[in-house]
Copies of this chain bind each other. A is one copy, B any other.
Amino acid sequence: MRIASAERRTLLVQAALRVIAAHGVSAATTRAIVAEAGMSLASFHYAFRSHDEMMRELIGYVVDAESTAAFAVLQPGADIRTSLRDGLRAFLDYVIADPGHEQVMQELVQYSLRTPGLESMARDQYASYHRAVAELLTGGAAASGVRWAVPVDDVARLVVTVTDGLTLAWLADRDAAAAVRVIDFAADAIAALAVPLTQPIRSVP
């Protein structure tokens, strides 16, 4: 093999993610990971200097993956309230369909916060969320012919606050109906922050 060096790192990271999704961060031991990847212990330490180094790369990997996963389809013409509601419901459906994935994200944030030297990665993870949602909100507003009356970054933080709270509560009590009620309320409330875009915005009125 020739190009395997970086690729095998990715294979090990993905195997580690499968182990974490199935049994949690604490079960992601070096041996469990290589077993999942079908490799031997020596291969692991040939690709990574240490288990910690692999975890660092893993967190960077999920942050990148998350920031490019725009799991919302913007429908031009729909009003912003409907777009928000549909987007949040799609997110909930996704969590319900694959609870392991969001649980991994939550666990990795905790892991980052707890591991010396990795605290900044938790910040990066949230910055990545906020940026992705802000882009979605900007696109959604344009598609609905509105603009945000407050900075879009603030609106993005609201949305992420809701999705996080929503996810945690659903993971704990699996009450999807209650989650939908939260979504409908949040969509209404957040949509109220959008104002009609009658005129192109100009700097000096």
Report the count of interface residues on A (CB-CB < 8 A): 40
Q: How far is the CB of A130 from chain B (nearest CB, A)?
A: 9
B157 near A178 (CB under 8 angstroms)?
yes
**Is A189 at the interface (CB under 8 A from chain B)?**
yes
CB distance A169 to B182 under 8 Å? no
CB-based contact B172/A157 at 8 Å: no
**CB < 8 Å: which of B24, B112, B158 contacts A114?**
B24
A6–B110 CA distance with the chains assembled, in angstroms: 32
CB distance from A193 to the nearest CB of B (A): 8
Mask of A9-42 contacts with B, CB within 8 angstroms, 1/0: 0000000000000011010000000000000000
Complex CA distance for A24 and B23, rounded to whole angstroms: 18
Say yes or no: is A68 at the interface (Cβ < 8 Å to chain B): no
Interface set, chain A 157-174, CB cutoff 8 A to B: 157-158, 160-166, 168-169, 171-174
Q: A158 touching B185 by the CB < 8 A rule?
A: yes
Say how far A157's CB is from chain B's closest CB, in angstroms.
6
Taken residue by residue from 173 to 205, chain A's Cβ proximity to chain B (1 for < 8 Å, 0 otherwise) reads as 110001001100110010011000000000000
Q: List, in ascending order, chain B residues with CB within 8 A of A109's CB.
A: 168, 171-172
**Are A165 and B172 in contact, with the CB atoms below 8 A?**
no
Which residues from B are CB-within-8-Å of A171? 109, 113, 122
User: Are A169 and B160 interface neighbours, CB within 8 A?
Assistant: yes
Give CA–CA (A189, B26) in the complex, Å. 39
Q: Which of A154, A173, A186 has the most CB of B within 10 A?
A: A173
Q: Give 5 closest A-B pairs by Cβ, nearest first.
A: A161-B165, A189-B189, A165-B165, A164-B165, A24-B114
Binding site for B on A (CB under 8 A): 23-24, 26, 103, 106-107, 109-110, 112-114, 122-123, 125-127, 154, 157-158, 160-166, 168-169, 171-174, 178, 181-182, 185-186, 189, 192-193
